[in-house]
């Protein structure tokens, strides 16, 4: 049996078992979720939807697709919805069945996991200084039949590459007969200026994967999407079961996309608190945070001489969870990642980190 060994943030359940306490006790900096929680519109929709769970959900998720199409400015025919971005990534990999997997690292581990059952070796391309995307190297490396995954902004580094660079890579993918997959799961937190969404619709060699679980704080309900050329949408759809987007996820998704105040407030808090957290981390001796364009910050703690695992364990004793980042290819035991949360939570994290340094 092939046991999946990828480790992610956000496992409050395991932390609660380990510390013999309830999962709600933790302040979770290990998963990159909107610190405001779900939109009040979404919560109301979920309450109303409870009575409807005795019915199957709309298999086409018609209403949600319409609203998402409007939100992303992408025609409905170019969209496919899934039970989280993760499901879409797995189905896309099955549909593409690539000859090689090209991965600029460090990056999200599920691209590799999604193809771990097929005998292809990933081609890892190391990031440049400060984790900049090695655009030239990717361009030179692409071959016919490749799938190239680029996470933008990148998890776990927070680095964002420009739209113009990605468009060049998508053109190159078309020239060589590769597929460029741009994962924009965290793009909402960066505003949408650098999205490549409009550019993938006519290029059969470029697609965008997205998620509504992070910005709209619905990871427990699961909601993700693919934006692509219609032929590929059809092919990926064939890989997926019906009713995969559950009724409550559909209702919460529709309501969330209506809540413009919540979206604005989210961007304000993330921009303000990312700066606060970055400066706070930077002022702690031995910690090196990396500039981020999204809702999390990668930190190198090598100058403290203390591993991220030890720091994480000490924080967990005080009910604070951070993501040890040593299992991302290209990172070592001295990296951890923290989500941007509310001011009092960020202050608590900084206070606890300072006390570990002393």
Ligand X SMILES: Cc1ncc(COP(=O)(O)O)c(C=O)c1O
Which residues would be at the binding site for ligand X (CB under 6 A)? Answer: 84-86, 108, 151, 155, 183, 185, 211, 213, 219, 224
Residue 131 vs 350, nearer CB to ligand X: 131
CA atoms within 13 A on the CB side of 303: 9
Min dist. Cβ of residue 175 to ligand X (A): 26
Helix (H) or strand (E) holding 339: strand 335-339
Please identify the residue of the shown chain whose CB is closest to the bound ligand X. 84
Residue 211 vs 292, nearer CB to ligand X: 211
Residue 57 vs 84, nearer CB to ligand X: 84
Min dist. Cβ of residue 155 to ligand X (A): 4
Residue 86 vs 287, nearer CB to ligand X: 86
CA distance 282 to 172: 38
Min dist. Cβ of residue 207 to ligand X (A): 13
Min dist. Cβ of residue 185 to ligand X (A): 4
Residue 85 vs 104, nearer CB to ligand X: 85
Helix boundaries (H) for 130-259:
135-141, 163-176, 197-200, 230-237, 247-256
CA distance 14 to 3: 17
Nearest to 285 by CA among 302, 304, 310, 309: 304
Min dist. Cβ of residue 332 to ligand X (A): 20
């Amino acid at each position: 049996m092939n046991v999946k060994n990828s480790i992610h943030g956000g496992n409050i359940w395991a932390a609660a078992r380990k510390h013999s306490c309830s999962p709600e006790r933790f302040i979770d900096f290990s998963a990159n979720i909107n610190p405001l929680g779900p939109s009040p519109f979404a919560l109301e929709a979920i309450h109303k939807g409870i009575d409807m769970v005795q019915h199957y959900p709309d298999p086409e998720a018609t209403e949600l697709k319409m609203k998402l199409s409007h939100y992303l400015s992408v025609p409905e025919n170019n969209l496919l919805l899934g039970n989280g971005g993760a499901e879409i990534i797995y189905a896309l990999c099955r549909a593409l069945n690539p000859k090689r997997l090209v991965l600029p690292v460090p990056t999200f581990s599920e691209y590799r996991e999604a193809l771990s059952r097929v005998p292809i070796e990933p081609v890892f391309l190391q990031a440049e200084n400060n984790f900049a995307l090695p655009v030239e190297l990717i361009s030179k490396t692409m071959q016919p039949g490749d799938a190239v995954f680029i996470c933008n902004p990148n998890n776990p580094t927070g680095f964002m590459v420009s739209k113009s660079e990605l468009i060049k890579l998508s053109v190159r993918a078309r020239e060589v007969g590769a597929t460029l997959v741009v994962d924009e799961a965290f793009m909402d937190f960066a505003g949408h200026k650098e999205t490549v969404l409009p550019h993938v619709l006519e290029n059969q060699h470029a697609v965008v994967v997205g998620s509504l679980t992070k910005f709209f704080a619905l990871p427990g309900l699961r909601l993700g999407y693919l934006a692509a050329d219609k032929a590929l949408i059809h092919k990926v759809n064939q890989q997926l079961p019906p009713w995969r987007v559950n009724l409550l996820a559909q209702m919460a998704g529709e309501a969330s996309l209506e809540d413009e105040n919540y979206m604005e407030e989210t961007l304000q808090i993330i921009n303000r608190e990312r700066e606060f957290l970055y400066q706070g981390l930077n002022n702690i001796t031995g910690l090196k945070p990396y500039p981020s364009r999204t809702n999390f910050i990668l930190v190198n703690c090598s100058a403290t001489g203390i591993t991220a695992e030890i720091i994480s364990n000490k924080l967990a004793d005080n009910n604070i969870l951070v993501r040890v980042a040593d299992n991302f290819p290209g990172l070592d035991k001295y990296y951890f990642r923290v989500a941007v949360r509310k001011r009092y939570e960020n202050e608590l994290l900084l206070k606890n980190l300072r006390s570990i340094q002393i």
